[in-house]
Amino acid sequence: MNMKKGLTLGLSIVMAATLLVGCGGGKTEEKKPAATGKKLAGSVKIDGSSTVFPISEAMAEEFRKINPDVKVTVGESGTTGGMKKFVPGEIDIADASRPIKKEEVEGVKKRGDDVIEIPIAYDGLSVVIHKDNTWAGTMTVAELKKLWEPTSTVKKWSEIRAGWPDQPIKLYGPGTASGTFEYFTEVIVGKSKSSRADFTASEDDNVLVKGVAGDKNALGYFGYVYYLHNKEKMKVVSIDTGKGAVTPSEQTIKDGTYKPLSRPIFIYVSKKSLERPEVKEFVTFYLKNASKLIPQVGYVPYAESHYQEMLKKVQ
Amino acid sequence: MLAHSREHKIYQWRKLKDTLFKGLFFTAIVISLAALAALLGGILMKGLPYLTLDFLSSYPSRFAAKAGIKSALAGTFAFIMITGPTAFVVGVLTAVYLEEYAKKNWLTNLLQLNIANLAGVPSIVYGMLGMVIFVRGLGLGRSVLAGALTMTLLILPVIVVATQEAIKAVPVALRHASYALGATTTQTVFRVVLPVAMPGILTGTILAVSRALGETAPLITIGALTYVAFLPTGPMSEFTVLPIQIFNWVSRPQAAFQDIAAAGIIVLLSIMLLLNGAAIYLRNKYRKPVE
């Protein structure tokens, strides 16, 4: 019996010691920023959509060159995953590929904070086909709806439009947890997250790229940037809303003629976090460099005047 | 004469069966080795040209040519430094308790059964557990410590089971000798049983730690980050690890990121190989003949 007690005691001591050592390290770390004095220090925490990730990463990378002591971190746990951390105030900025939801705003307000919405860039969802596909260069929204709606029974190209080959059609699309999936179903099918289920789904867009590139009868959709970097491997479908077919390009996405698959992507900033100088400086930097850095990572920026207006919003 | 020839036939048939099975086993190993060779060959060809000193000492970047794994590598090391010792101490002591002190009753059996089951729980479940207990519950945030403790839970069952097996393999005569000299249970455990069982325990621990090294899912669940451009300064520091960085690069649209992902995989594989090599070395070093 004594032995057992001894062992338990020993075990607790070891564990307590481990924890103590752990905490000790943490404390010294926290003191550092204060010691550096006037220079801008502290941390800016960003998390959310993997679609917006490359933009925030580019900003963090450039910001670090000017303010090496500010620790900017970017995660990619998805728009909803990021919101779950943004609402209780665990992070300062949420990356989002869809507008914030009402209940999420309420959650933020409940803890005495507020949200600043900044549409940061456009993403044009691209519908793509195999490069040897000679027939489906243009599709109407109605045809896409017929193909993708949950009740769809379309199995062959000829069932979409008379005259198209009597060949099976293979579908590729993003996973159901992605913001891209939510947006596509909303504007094409008419209801968010409502889609036929018999398609090859992947959270990794490169899997979709490979699928479409290697299958003559494939049709898939994903963010414009993935088409941009794989142009030689596939064809993009021009979308016809009844006013003529429009092909996604930087120009058509920016001027809004590429409809309805062009969507804004956002960052959401906590008003309370914005009171901290390092967060304010970072958001200002973000907006001032948006026009320059956003095209570098494959997205389409807003006009410069939009960012100027947003700058006023955060001052 | 007739009987002799029949016997001969049976003998030949058995011989043939033997050869057939040998062929089957050989094919099996060739298939798995060929798959491994193809995988390694592809990755080495793709990644080796990008494996430079700059790659090891640069922070992540939006340009593949400038991106590196400095923070991911440091994060992986920091995280293993906490996971390894914690999992080893808690795991070995648990096993010692179960093997040497616990009464053999239904409760112990239940514990035993659950530990074996825990070893098979999908890693993402541990991620959720870690999120609730360490990140939110104990308020550790998304720190190296929270990640390391989550991973400790994940590999504990493996270490406990490996240690128990190693302890069971210690010849009973050694314990008897120790008791005969008047040693207490604790003295016997620490001076006789554990030293003899150590090679097995170390092998189990190192293999478990190299599993933790390659896990991504639980860390993503607890909210480990992807872009981190500083080195961890302590257990409460935020961090990223190699598998997360590789995962991010693989899913990028630019083809150049696939190449540096391959370079990252080479680094991760080398660390694992190093750890496994250490396991073999330690096993051989401490394996003293027991008579």
Residues B117 and B148 in one domain: yes
- The confidence band for A2, taking pLDDT boundaries of 50, 70 and 90, is very low
The tens digit of pLDDT for each residue in A207-245 reads 999 999 999 999 999 999 999 989 999 999 999 988 889
In a domain, residue B116? The reply is yes
What does the pLDDT look like over A242-272, one tens digit per residue?
888 999 998 899 888 898 999 889 999 999 9
Q: Are residues B33 and B156 in the same domain?
A: no
Given a cut of 80, whether residue B1 has pLDDT beyond it is no
Residue-range domain boundaries for chain A: 33-122+265-314, 126-260
Residue B291 lies in a domain: no
Contact B229 A56 (CB under 8 A): no
Please report the ipTM that was assigned to this predicted complex: 0.77
Same domain for B211 and B129 = yes
- Position A133 scores a pLDDT of 93
Position B28 pLDDT exceeds 60: yes
- Asked if the structure places residue B59 within a domain, the reply is yes
* Residue B224 shares a structural domain with residue B183: yes
| pLDDT tens digits for range B167-221 | 999 999 999 999 999 999 999 999 999 999 998 999 899 889 988 988 888 888 8
HSE-up of residue B13 (Cα within 13 Å, Cβ side): 6
Nearest to B116 by CA among B66, B156, B143, B86: B156
pLDDT (0 to 100) of residue A22: 41
Which of B251, B257, B259 would best serve as a mutation to test chain A binding (most A beta carbons within 10 A)? B251
Closest CA to B91 of B218, B222, B197: B197
CATH class as words, domain A126-260: alpha beta
Establish if B133 belongs to a structural domain.
yes
Q: Do A57 and B226 touch (CB under 8 A)?
A: yes
Q: What are phi and psi of A130, to 5 degrees?
A: -65, 150
Same domain? B34 vs B168: no
Residues B6 and B92 in one domain: no
Strand bridging mode A70-74 / B227-228: antiparallel
Same domain, B121 and B86: yes
A140 — alpha (psi -120 to 50), left (phi > 0) or beta? beta
pLDDT above 90: percentage of residues in chain B: 63
Spelled out in words, what is the top-level CATH class assigned to the domain A33-122+265-314?
alpha beta
**In terms of domains, do B87 and B151 share one?**
yes
Q: What is the pLDDT of residue B8?
A: 87
Find the domain containing B19 and state its range.
2-50
CB distance A55 to A297 below 8 Å: yes
The answer to the question of residue B27 being in a domain is: yes
Binning pLDDT at 50, 70 and 90, where does residue B287 land?
confident
When the pLDDT of each residue in chain A is averaged and rounded to a whole number, the result is: 86
Q: What pTM did the predictor assign?
A: 0.80
* pLDDT reading at A142 higher than 90: yes
The answer to whether the CB of B189 falls within 8 A of the CB of B220 is no
What is the percentage of chain A residues whose pLDDT exceeds 90?
66
B33 and B119 co-located in one domain: no
Q: Verify that B218 and B270 share a domain, yes or no.
A: yes
Query: CA of A162 to nearest chain B CA: how many angstroms apart?
Result: 35
Residues B35 and B95 in one domain: no
Interface contact flag, A74 B186, Cβ < 8 Å: no
**Looking at the structure, do residues B36 and B65 belong to the same domain, yes or no?**
no
Q: Chain A residue with minimal CA distance to B138?
A: A19
Nearest CB among A29, A223, A229 relative to B254 is that of A229
pLDDT of amino acid A144? 95
| Number of domains into which chain B is organized | 2
